[in-house]
Amino acid sequence: MQKNYAAIQATGAELIAISSDGEAATKQNVQNQGLKFVVLADPDVKIISDYNVVNPGNNRIARPASYVLQKNGTIAWKSLDGVAVRIPTAQILKELGKL
């Protein structure tokens, strides 16, 4: 997602990721990977649970998922992917273009 971050921002959107790691580990991961977008720490798995993306094989982590939210916070589109599957950024950009 980092290499497509500028394209996402060019649509007027913002990219936010959520990690089940604690704050320190999330911050270290962001730094190690040189991420420029926001990554939120969710060690209690509250947000991950609220969005129904808990990994069925490990309830301490999220499965890959993508959401496009409208400015008012409602979900315009979502993709709940398999454990080893990532939705192509081109698909996300297509959905952003529909807003």
How do beta strands 75-80 and 65-69 pair? antiparallel
State how far Cα 82 lies from the chain centre: 14
Confidence of residue 71 (pLDDT cuts 50, 70, 90): confident
In what helix (H) or strand (E) does residue 94 lie, and over which residues does it extend?
Answer: helix 89-97
Domain count, the chain: 1
- pLDDT tens by residue, 22-43: 999 999 999 999 999 999 999 9
Confidence of residue 83 (pLDDT cuts 50, 70, 90): low
Range of the domain at 74: 2-97
Percentage of residues in the chain having pLDDT higher than 70: 97
Confidence of residue 9 (pLDDT cuts 50, 70, 90): very high
- Helix segments in 5-84, DSSP class H: 5-10, 23-33, 46-50
- Can you give the CATH number for the domain in which 66 is found? 3.40.30.10
